[in-house]
Structure 1
């Protein structure tokens, strides 16, 4: 709830954007708060945060993620461009497969985290980035394209489509009931984690479905035309195992799953190595002799990767005793209570772990090993924590 608690108390801005599902959220008793420039539901009437969280872990939850920026990159040099702004080998992706990556500024800092999916053999790519970074992402991507007029590719925002996320162990059953069986030669059971394909709803509406999500559970993100979004959401919610879930549970679910939140665990001063995201730096892109093939920040990032020249690293932690949650900006100390070694970036109670407090943060290299015991200082009191392996709660992805 670290990103949520303060939102509830902010006044609404009349310029807030609304997703196609906004009125449905209100009719369902959603408590609407400003988030990333949108009016979004944080909780729904009749559900506590803990109930919403646990429901998603055991049944299925519907999240409106239409505020995310959907875009498309196409053209002869699409891969070449992606290889400049990300450290991931996008050429190695098969059609219909996607990967988590990061957009990098020239210094190797993370502009945003992103999902990139290869749509066809023409090297068209579907890209999803964060709503809160939409303006910066647009500026960055257009700027990088303008810096090299020889590139034959174009990036454009996808308009008129909503994005709905279904998460939880029963999400497959809920979604499958609304799809044409084996539409386009593909059944939902044939769609694995990280893949995205087109399916038909039973009324003939074409939707793009990606298997994955932000909670650590099996799930799907469905891109659907705005004019169909409300009807589709209502059909999903008609299933008794499905409930609408707001931002509060989304945050605690992702924290348990060890996921980063941009503006907390990631920003333009943090490299993917410092963020513990070494795996997004493809092995095929780590030993590049031709400078023209280097991604942004290549020299710095490879020095950090090969020589461990970073000074801080992202970690997860659990409280060893009861106490108030450590939120963003809380200091981390050695047991001597005098030596500051890091900062918390996110913190919340963990409904899946008997409501013990958990969190993520950055600590100095040398104090980052799993099992290390440190202190967080909350309201002028110290509380013992232990660094733990991510994810803090086991994931249940549907992998091939």
Structure 2
């Protein structure tokens, strides 16, 4: 529920601090407001941090994200009623990428769902976690318990040397493959570790009690392979990996088919339906969509940004939803939705960037090959 602001004190929402706020400031991080929190956008520079993560291991503070658990008899059925994922097939320690859908199939959020044994663990985006919690409370049956783990921090260690570094304090990670998770004991502190991330690199997300996050971050950055990395490089890395950002590449105006996320809808769910928006989504799977999310490689050095028009001659055929310079490639890239008949690989288009036309070509995603440990 929202209300128009009248500038009264009670309408001012204070930006919150992460458990590691002072840790970031101690390292001269440039802090910005994002998703209602003060967050580090960079330490020594976005390009340098981006390339370090591609070559070594970067430590990201993603404690702004929502860590939830869903438990109780019928939890699987309840989750499958509002998401298109096949969670019944998940064995303990196995994960799935999925989407929280409104009743028309619009994407409310994208998230990770893990079978944690006695409950299902959900990690949702920070910018919409309170809306997600409200939606889940409304749509989950009364006998299902939803818990928000506000006392947990979340760190992500990403890059080709992440496993070497993390194994020193959590040897169990050697048994994890991509999209698997498990519990580690670090000097008496429980760490819930998943082999997953948002960079396209091999890596891990580590849920740690908030009061132990400082010690864990210190232990990791003390290793030669690891440096702290900010929000700026996290965004450029996920863009190169072709991963959508909720609120930009995904919104309630999009659905899984045009967004190119049909891999998250299993064969069983396609056959049975029974999830929010299933009738609409299954028809789109059969008949196709008017628009598709695509990757664009741009000429020159000037970057396209969200909202820029994608043109075919004098006709606008789409809109950029994410864009920026790709440090790993040395040129700008973008994602956006274009008319389906313009979505083929190799299609030559243009992007109108503040009145200047930039040549753009539809290319496959990811822009940089993923290096997940399978």
Matched with 1:244 is 228
> For residues 199-238 of structure 1, what are the alpha-carbon distances to aligned partners after superposition, in whole Å with 9 as ceiling and x for unaligned?
111x221111000100000100000011110011011011
**Residue among 45, 64, 73 paired with 1:67:** 64
Other structure's SS at 2:134 match: helix
Once the two structures are TM-superposed, the CA of residue 106 in structure 1 deviates from its matched residue by 0.2
Alignment of 1:362-377 (within 5 A): 362-377=337-352
Q: Deviations over 1:290-313 (max 9, x none)?
A: xxx6100011000000111x2111
CA distance in 1, matches of 2:190, 2:147: 21
2:300 aligned residue = 322
Establish whether residue 172 from structure 1 lines up as the match of residue 163 from structure 2: yes
Residue 154, structure 1, aligned to residue 145, structure 2: yes
Note the alpha carbon deviations across 1:76-130, whole angstroms, 9 max, x for none: 110111111110110011110001000000000000000000011x5x1000000
Structure 1 residue 14: deviation in Å? 7.8
Match of 1:297 in 2: 277
State the distance in 2 between where 1:317 and 1:206 align: 43
The residue aligned with 2:185 is 200
Distance 1:294 1:68 in 2: 28
The answer as to whether partners of 2:16 and 2:37 remain within 8 angstroms in 1 is yes
Distance (Å, rounded) in 2 between the aligned partners of 1:14 and 1:284: 43
Q: Is the 8 Å Cα contact of residues 301 and 325 (structure 2) preserved in structure 1?
A: no
Q: How many residues align?
A: 363
With over 3 angstroms needed to count, the CA separation of the structure-2 counterparts of 1:175 and 1:73, relative to structure 1, is same
Q: Equivalents in 1 of 2:122, 2:277: separation in Å?
A: 21
Asked whether the equivalents of residues 310 and 338 of structure 2 are also in contact (C-alpha less than 8 Å), the reply is: yes
Q: Residues 323, 177 of structure 1: CA spacing in aligned structure 2 closer, same or farther, 3 A cutoff?
A: closer
Of 260, 271, 277, 1:276 maps to: 260
The residue aligned with 1:54 is 51
CA distance in 1, matches of 2:116, 2:129: 22
Deviation >3 Å, runs of 4+? none
Shift of 1:276: 0.3
5 Å matches for 1:14-93? 15-44=14-43, 47-93=44-90
Give per-residue Cα distances to partners, 1:232-257, cap 9 Å, x unaligned: 10110111221100011000000000
Q: Are the aligned partners of 1:323 and 1:383 in contact in 2 as well (CA < 8 Å)? A: no
Q: Aligned to 1:287, what secondary structure does the other structure show?
A: helix
1:231 counterpart (215, 224, 241): 215
Question: For residues 14 and 306 of structure 1, do their structure 2 counterparts lie closer, same or farther at Cα, with a shift above 3 Å needed?
Answer: closer
Q: Which residue of 2 aligns with 1:135?
A: 130
Any idea what SS the aligned residue of 1:40 has?
strand
Residue 188 (structure 1) aligns with: 173
Question: Is 1:267 aligned to residue 251 of structure 2?
Answer: yes
In the alignment, the residues of structure 2 paired with residue 234 and residue 189 of structure 1 have an alpha-carbon distance, to the nearest angstrom, of 22
Shift of 1:392: 0.4
- The residue matched to 1:79 in structure 2 has which SS? helix
Q: CA deviation at 1:159?
A: 2.3
